[in-house]
Structure 1
Amino acid sequence: MYETVLSPRVSETDGVGHINNTTLPVWFEAARNPLFALFTPDHDFAKWKMVIVKTTLEFISQIYFGQDVEIKVWIKKIGNSSLELYEELHQNGNLCARNIAVYVNYDLQAQKSEKIPEEIRDELKKHLYSADEGTT
């Protein structure tokens, strides 16, 4: 599992006093930086590999400014050219949101998916989701 701690900003707080729902997709994406580095180590967008094709976000509890959030990212499934992530967002030890994201290893110049290399696949396997780790 990959873990990232973020501090909510005032600008992410909405008029009813909690973190706005539009913020969470950005936070989940920020927690994926270690995965992006596996596929494009130099972060060169001309060689970018990971393209998101689906995301399903479930809001469970409100999130507030002034208290850090912890985002956990697991690999739920590894396909030939795609991978499915299972992600959780916690604040004060409480599960506040969960997300499923599907990415494809994609060659932007050829405009087609490509097989996930074995060395990346081996690293991804180290972060496979286990039911005893996550909340789901």
Structure 2
Amino acid sequence: MRHVYECPLRWSDMDSFGHVNNVIFLRYLEEARIDFMFRLARQADSGAFTGGSVVARHEIDYLRPLVHRHAPVSVELWVAKLGGASVTVAYEIKDTEQVYVRASTVVVPYDLQAGRPRRITEEERRFLGNYQDDAAGGSGGA
């Protein structure tokens, strides 16, 4: 199963060529990931990811330029790999006609009080397992 986040395009996202700036795509991924891990996961388990998390790695493939328009783009997100102390989230930024970006992010749960990474809890593992999609191909190295 995939989580779908509808992401609006903002005029300030554009570069001088009229395309979404490459750095902005990371913001779109972040918005989708926050919606997934901090809204959806906490609805499923109020303690999920409350201690924090950090991004360990991003990988992104820019496939086509995206120009400003009033319709949002969909950021589809799924779990590509689930380890003991990390999760690899894969994404596609797309609309009904084409895929603009494929990407992946390695996220590490983090204990903010102890100042160190931590293991994924069983509750978090169950939630993340619902979004595993090993069959989803072409996800930016995931």
Q: Which residue identity is paired with 1:113? A: P
Ranges of 4+ aligned residues in structure 1 off by more than 3 Å: 39-44, 133-136
Separation in structure 2 between the aligned mates of residue 116 and residue 11 of structure 1, nearest angstrom:
36
2:57 maps to what in 1? 54
Identity rate, percent: 25
Separation in structure 1 between the aligned mates of residue 97 and residue 132 of structure 2, nearest angstrom:
22
TM-score normalised by L of structure 2: 0.83
Separation in structure 2 between the aligned mates of residue 93 and residue 127 of structure 1, nearest angstrom:
24
2:25 maps to what in 1? 24
Q: What is the CA deviation profile of residues 81-132 of structure 1, one whole-angstrom value per residue up to 9, with x for unaligned ones?
A: 110111110034301001110011110221222111111101111100232x
Q: What is the CA deviation profile of residues 29-63 of structure 1, one whole-angstrom value per residue up to 9, with x for unaligned ones?
A: 0001221343795899xx54211110011100011
1:1-136 correspondence to structure 2 within 5 Å:
1-32=2-33, 33-37=35-39, 38=41, 41=46, 48-66=51-69, 67-131=71-135, 133-134=136-137, 136=139
Q: Which residue identity is paired with 1:64? A: V
Separation in structure 2 between the aligned mates of residue 88 and residue 51 of structure 1, nearest angstrom:
21
Where does structure 1 lack aligned partners over 5 or more consecutive residues? Answer: none
Equivalenced residues, count: 133
Q: Contact 1:86–1:129 at 8 Å: present in 2 too?
A: no
Q: Would the alpha carbon gap of residues 116 and 43 (structure 1) be closer, same or farther in structure 2, given more than 3 Å must change?
A: closer
Give the CA RMSD over aligned residues: 2.3
Q: What is the CA deviation profile of residues 64-95 of structure 1, one whole-angstrom value per residue up to 9, with x for unaligned ones?
A: 11132100010011111110111110034301
Separation in structure 2 between the aligned mates of residue 58 and residue 110 of structure 1, nearest angstrom:
35
Where does structure 2 lack aligned partners over 5 or more consecutive residues? Answer: none
Q: Contact 2:6–2:74 at 8 Å: present in 1 too?
A: yes
Q: Contact 2:102–2:138 at 8 Å: present in 1 too?
A: no
TM-score normalised by L of structure 1: 0.86
Q: Which residue identity is paired with 2:16? A: G
